[in-house]
């Protein structure tokens, strides 16, 4: 895969995979300097002003939405969360929704000109709720994908944690692809190559590492003494769950929870969501946690129906 150099070179094959014909929308990389010296980055799809803004989950990046956006056919913005993609890492490693929300708010204020349909998956879903609660003028509707505040969006299944808890750098991207496939991740080799290319970077010494900070934090946690910090983690999770429910309760626009039937949100979690937010909608799609990657056309249809006609 050494001949792949363009982050947008995968789009034609992705469009063909889902049966999208015709010319592809223009896609550009955006960067916004922040007051503290960090940068937030995003992808803008289409020639007009974005109508839909997407926030990805932990360990992913804005390109995870490529196929869904191609199926959607609307002008859109996909933001790299802090510590992911081409957005700067945080020195404090505070990757929680309310901490991430100000950067997303700045990005949306800079790159959109109308209230957005805000779509967030996993950690991005909780961050989207925090953004909508912070500034309702930026958002006209909210879609949260396979997450509720009672679920730790960074924990994931043990397979994912073990995968990222391994080496933090490799001699080549092919080695990273081999590791992903050995863990049963990435699907076909071509899909794994795409995922690795878009989620890794070359270091100054010529070795390759994951772009997102979570891989490095997972490796550090794996090297810590057994049992260290477990009690603190439980206490922090309780606080984060409370703040997440508070954010969702403060949202004054229509809210939809999309549950992958094989994802992280259980039927009991969905029932709790409905009890707490009786006005919200809950829709199920036959998918695992990454609904946008497994069911891009079905999800795009749902998003299109909620995007409105503006």
Helical H runs in 112-212? 123-134, 158-164, 173-182, 189-198
| Catalytic residue, candidates 87, 122, 200, 243 | 122
Answer yes or no: 287 catalytic.
no
**Distance of alpha carbon 58 from alpha carbon 113, whole angstroms:** 27
Beta bridge partners of 32: 40
| Catalytic residue, candidates 56, 84, 169, 289 | 289
| Catalytic residue, candidates 103, 146, 247, 269 | 146
User: Burial level of 131, CB count in 10 A (0-12/13-18/19+)?
Assistant: buried
Query: Taking the CB of residue 143, how many other CB atoms lie within 10 A of it?
Result: 25
Cα distances from 226 to residues 154, 168, 223, 232, 263, in angstroms, run: 19, 20, 9, 14, 28
Answer yes or no: 146 catalytic.
yes
Answer yes or no: 41 catalytic.
no
Residues 6+ apart with CB under 8 A from 303: 52, 68, 72, 74, 117, 119, 143
Q: Are strands 76-79 and 52-55 parallel, antiparallel or unpaired?
A: parallel
User: DSSP state, 49?
Assistant: -
> What residues act catalytically?
122, 146, 289
């Amino acid at each position: 895969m050494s001949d792949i150099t363009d982050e947008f070179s995968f789009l034609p094959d992705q469009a063909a995979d889902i049966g999208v014909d015709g010319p592809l929308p223009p896609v550009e990389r955006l960067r916004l300097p922040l007051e503290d010296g960090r940068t937030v980055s995003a992808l803008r799809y289409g020639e007009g002003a974005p109508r839909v803004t997407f926030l990805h989950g932990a360990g992913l990046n804005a390109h995870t939405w490529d196929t869904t956006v191609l199926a959607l056919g609307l002008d859109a913005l996909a933001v790299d969360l802090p510590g992911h993609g081409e957005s700067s890492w945080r020195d404090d490693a505070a990757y929680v929704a309310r901490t991430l929300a100000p950067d997303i708010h700045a990005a949306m204020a800079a790159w959109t000109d109308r209230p957005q349909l805000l779509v967030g998956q996993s950690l991005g879903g909780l961050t989207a709720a925090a953004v909508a609660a912070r500034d309702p003028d930026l958002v006209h509707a909210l879609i949260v994908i396979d997450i509720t505040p009672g679920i730790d969006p960074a924990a994931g299944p043990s397979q994912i944690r073990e995968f990222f808890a391994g080496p933090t750098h490799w001699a080549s991207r092919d080695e990273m692809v081999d590791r992903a496939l050995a863990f049963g991740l990435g699907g076909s080799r071509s899909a794994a190559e795409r995922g690795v290319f878009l989620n890794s970077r070359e270091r100054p010494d010529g070795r390759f590492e994951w772009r997102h900070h979570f891989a490095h934090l997972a490796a550090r946690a794996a090297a810590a003494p057994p049992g260290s910090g477990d009690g603190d983690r439980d206490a922090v999770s309780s606080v984060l769950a409370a703040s997440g429910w508070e954010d969702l309760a403060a949202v004054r626009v229509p809210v939809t929870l999309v549950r992958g039937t094989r994802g992280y949100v259980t039927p009991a979690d969905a029932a709790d969501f409905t009890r707490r937010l009786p006005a919200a909608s809950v829709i199920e799609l036959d998918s695992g946690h990454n609904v946008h990657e497994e069911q891009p056309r079905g999800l795009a249809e749902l998003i299109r129906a909620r995007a409105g006609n503006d």
